[in-house]
Chain A
């Protein structure tokens, strides 16, 4: 499994003084290989989430291509892309991402249910257990705290065993203990199962778990460092 981003950029229209558009992400190229935890840091507004969305198939870049094992993500039609995302990619978005009418367990099983795949009930239960929210499996999201909802979203992404896991500020709502719990879970997942974990964060805690760190500013990657193993 290898992800290649080839000169991807995202432009938005905006009436400003000079040009009537601006770049949220300026052309950037990246390569991520299996078994890595990649951490993307940077100030808010630096384009981190936009880059994550483009890499995870949620937002078409204005220019450039995203290739997963040679498949051009945005060359696929919506149906094929959705199916591919459901099979290969898990995303933990910012903010609330629970379906209110479903219980925690139903939320976690939802991605598989959409495509009538065998339900990963065992994996789901294990992840809920590991993330410390197993007792809440039959609760409705309205009864959960922000941190519990966040861990539910993480369990949902992990339970599908995606080859690529994207997490946008996954530890924002979490205390130190849970932050460590989540990040070590990410690291184990990437290393033991040879998967890719891509984390966007502005917290330094995450750096300790990273195999590669990118820093963004003003829509550009300004520095990158690989941990030497």
Chain B
């Protein structure tokens, strides 16, 4: 039973990095004139998804009964997180821009890690049931 909490803890940590990162060290491009391109909105969407993931992880941590469902619902959230930068929401049109150089790869890695956590959690909880 202790094992089932570990994915939730890792997920919670990842979601914190995602939310804080999307506003600070992993933020999208900042333009000199203060205008915001599509990548700004991608960053906001990622923050939102990060928050959702954090809430799911917190529920998995506290409510034991909800764990299997919560871990499963983490899967589409993480998939959205992977698809958001560049696929669902456009980024700047140059690979050398911050949003493509830093934000996108970092966010894809973070959400992929969270996806693996959710998967591990789902498997662990399912195994305990049977």
Within 8 Å by CB, do A and B touch in the complex? no
B interface vs A, CB < 8 Å? none
